[in-house]
Amino acid sequence: MLKWRIVMDPLMGRSLVTTEIVKKGEMVVEESPFAIGPKQNSGIVCLGCYRDLFFGEDGDSLDRCERCDWPLCSACFDIPDHLGECEIFTKAKVHFAGNVSEDGVCTQLDCITPLRVLLVKESDPDRWEREIAPMEYHNEERRKMVDVWNADFVNIAQYLRGPCRLAERFSEDLIMQIVGILEVNAFEARTTLGYALRCLYPITGILAHNCVPNTFRTIHPSEGFKIRLRAMCNLNEGQQLQHSYTYTLNGTSQRQEHLKNGKFFTCECKRCKDPTELGTNFSTFKCSKCEEGWLLSTNPIDRSCYWKCTLCTFQTSNNAIQKALSVMQSEVATLQAMDPSPQKLQETEKLMRKYRVVVHPLHFIQIGLRQNLIEMYGRVAEYELSELPDVMLEHKEELCRQVLHVLDVFEPGLSRTRAMMLYELHVPLVLLAKSGFISGVLTAEALKLKLLDVIAILNECVDILQYEDPETQEGNLCKVAQQAKNQLTQSVEGLTVAE
């Protein structure tokens, strides 16, 4: 029996609700993709494994299909996903030029994923009518984005109907409908080697959005990119299944902009409508006119609102706040473009100190900088784990706990991001415990208790990542975390025997 059913939501259209009580971690939906293919605006990639391919300025490359001459590496000859388009390109004698724009985009490949959807529609029309045709595609809203619409119309609809000679099989309206369905509903996935692609899932694709999701998904490339949707926390019967279609660690205005431009709706969840973002102050600024006040939006989902201090009478426009954010985000982006190095770490620390007098300590800009620092401490020269003094290990611990504090609110339960952060946290805790024991600050019993706490942290990390494809980066981290947990367990047993 299915644990979900489709209902019509007055605000969100079709969505899924549970048909029974679902426990945390329990699988609710499992399905294979209707179609897979390259991401929109990708570079030149293999049409089988999606790895980047190098084509010379004259379009010359050995990584071409022997039949149609389109990009395909030698390991991917005769893969089923490419056979349908290969036949079309060969019959129409469509040449792959290998042209790439200044920003690295090969627009000629934009047609591939829509074409694959069209071909599945032909081979399985009943499934198309039942599962894909009802999906949202927002053509009216997309037409207003004139440049994007025209580019898709020329590069995809006219290209398939013209040079590819498919005018009698597929109408312009149908092709543009599919382009919209993919834009609104497709998920990004990665191969076992980390190469990006997009997948269209008929059931998971109609999940309702919420900026505090109650489900998480795992995509399994080693199983044909099968997707599994699980409960992030315990769910009641009849509860709406919700996922986040934007990055949960962005502020409200950034999430709203992404959803409006990419998914064509305004989110009105509790988090978005709360100026404090559920008490985290994730978008809160410091008041520039008094020492203790905080600037909060009077209506976070209204771009014409104003911001008001919680203590004094000062207020400012939303436009002024967004300009300040833009400046900060530009500075952060400049830093992120740098290769990992001691200088990048030091400059990130400086930037975080600089913003302390501008935004709340848990503002999303600060949380993003903390995440960058967490990744660098222990991994860049001069800041490797073996060289970090206790004060820096304590600093990394605090950085991790601050990010986890926010994740407790925005991604409660089985959160992949939480698992990554728990793994980062366990390392300084182990080193600090061992340092304390060696220096005589900790007794054997105190060391044992601290290591038991770390084992509990690793256990939670493994509990979350156990659902990942074992061949992916997250799946590998699960194995590493399990090994670390086993080693610490042996250490604790050794301490117990010694007692």
pLDDT by 10-residue block (mean), the chain, 499 residues: 88 89 97 96 95 78 90 89 95 93 93 98 96 93 94 97 97 97 95 95 95 97 96 96 96 95 92 98 96 95 94 96 96 95 97 96 98 97 93 98 98 95 97 95 94 97 96 95 96 74
In a domain, 249, yes or no: no
Calculated CA dihedral for residues 201, 202, 206, 209, nearest 10 degrees = -10
At position 335, the amino acid (one-letter code) is L
**CA Rg value for the chain:** 25
Secondary structure string (H, E, C) spanning 280-312: CCCCCEECCCCCCCEEEECCCCCCCCEEEECCC
Instruction: Kindly state whether residue 311 falls inside one of the protein's structural domains.
Output: no
Q: Note if the pTM is more than 0.85.
A: yes
What pLDDT was estimated at residue 61?
78
Cα separations in angstroms, 294 against 227, 276, 352, 362, 402: 43, 10, 18, 12, 19
Shared domain check, 138 and 87: yes
Comparing CA positions, the residue from 363, 331, 356 lying closest to residue 252 is 363
Q: Inter-axis angle of helices 390-410 and 416-438, to 10 degrees?
A: 150
DSSP string, 334-354: HHHTSPS-HHHHHHHHHHHHH
Residue 195: C-alpha distances to residues 40, 79, 114, 128, 198 (Å): 14, 17, 19, 28, 10
Question: Is the domain of 16 the same as that of 159?
Answer: no
Question: Do the domain assignments include residue 358?
Answer: yes
Q: Do 29 and 62 share a domain, yes or no?
A: no
Query: How many domains are contained in the chain?
Result: 3
For residue 58, the model assigns a pLDDT of 60
Taking Cα atoms as reference points, which of 73, 87, 356, 367 lies closest to residue 195? 73
Angle ∠(363,368,373) on CA atoms, nearest 5: 125
- CB-CB contact of 93 with 87 (8 Å): no
Exposure string of 301-322, with b = 16+ CB inside 10 Å and e = fewer, is: eeeeebbbbeeeeeebebeebe
Residues 25 and 49 in one domain: no
350 in the same domain as 453: yes
- The verdict on 117 and 60 lying in the same domain is yes
29 Cβ contact list (under 8 Å, min separation 6): 3, 4, 16, 203, 204, 227, 228, 229, 241
DSSP category for residue 420: H
Q: Given 243, 262, 295, which residue is the final one in a domain?
A: 243
416-438 vs 444-465: helix axis angle to the nearest 10?
Answer: 160
- Does 397 map to a domain? yes
- Specify the pLDDT at position 495: 78
* Residues whose CB falls within 8 Å of the CB of residue 406, separated by 6 or more in sequence, listed in order: 249, 280, 282, 362, 367
Domain that includes residue 222, residue range:
4-33+201-243
| 206 and 110 share one domain | no
User: Are residue 368 and residue 443 in the same domain, yes or no?
Assistant: yes
Helix axes 172-185, 112-123, angle to 10 degrees: 110
Task: For residues 361 and 234, state if they share a domain.
Answer: no
Rounded distance, CA 426 to CA 482, Å? Answer: 12
Q: Provide the token pair at 44.
A: 């030149």
Q: Do 394 and 482 lie in a common domain?
A: yes
Q: Is 11 part of any domain? A: yes
Q: Considering the domain boundaries, does residue 373 fall inside one?
A: yes
DSSP element (H, E) containing 430: helix 416-438
State residue 77's pLDDT score: 84
Q: What's the gap between Cα 312 and its chain centre?
A: 39
Name the amino acid, one letter, at 393. L
- In the sheet with 187-190, reading across from the earlier edge strand, the strands are 35-37, 196-200, 187-190
Contact 187, 204 (CB under 8 A): yes
* Domain finish residue from 183, 209, 229: 183
**Total residue count of the chain as it appears in this document:** 499
| pLDDT for residue 386 | 86
CA-to-CA distance for 207 and 12, rounded, in angstroms? 9
Q: Which two tokens stand for residue 424?
A: 């980062």
CATH number of the domain enclosing 441: 1.25.40
481 in the same domain as 352: yes
Contacts of 387 (CB under 8 A, 6+ apart): none
Collapsing DSSP to helix, strand or coil, 230 comes out as strand
Residue 425: inside a domain = yes
Q: How far apart are CA 34 and CA 132, in angstroms?
A: 8
Strands (E) across 361-400 are located at none
| 291 and 311 Cβ atoms separated by less than 8 Å | no
Strand partners, 215: 231
Q: How many CB atoms are closer than 10 A to CB 6?
A: 12
Residue 225 and residue 200: Cα distance in Å, rounded? Answer: 10
Q: Is residue 409 part of a domain?
A: yes
